Amino acid sequence: MKSAPQQRELFPRPTPMPGTAFVNDRVCFRTEGTQRVISVQGIVVAHYSIEDRAAEAYAMVMLFESGYADQNDIARCFGYSIRTLRRAAKVARQTARMHGTPIYIWKNGKVVAEKP
């Protein structure tokens, strides 16, 4: 008796482009040259130069504060310690308090301003 032939995968996953890193199943970032793009569920949420440390810190804090990724995963993928991520979040809140500006985060698919 012949066994049934192996069924092919209906929707094969494309191989990621070089320079792509996955933080978790929702968040990934791609670095090309000196530019980096962060996507959440396929939507670009940040785009910055990798030389701009403030923009990188803001993007990491935004991902964590919005709940899209765990701080351990963010720190691992960006090459920082968890303590560095917490320090960046603390500095962002202090700066927002100092200038009286809200912190903008993603919540339930919307950009929401929260007081620090």
22 three-state secondary structure? strand
Sketch the domain layout of the chain as residue ranges.
Answer: 20-114
Q: What is the pTM of this model?
A: 0.73
If you ran DSSP here, which 8-state letter would residue 7 be given? P
Residues 55 and 27: beta-carbon distance below 8 Å: no
DSSP per residue, 83-111: HHHHHHHHHHHHHHHHHT-PEEEEETTEE
Report whether pLDDT(116) > 70: no
Task: Identify which has the larger pLDDT, 75 or 3.
Answer: 75
pLDDT confidence bin for 1, thresholds 50/70/90: low
Q: For the residues 57-73, what does the mean pLDDT come to?
A: 90
Per-residue pLDDT of 28-51, as tens digits, reads 999 999 999 999 998 999 999 999
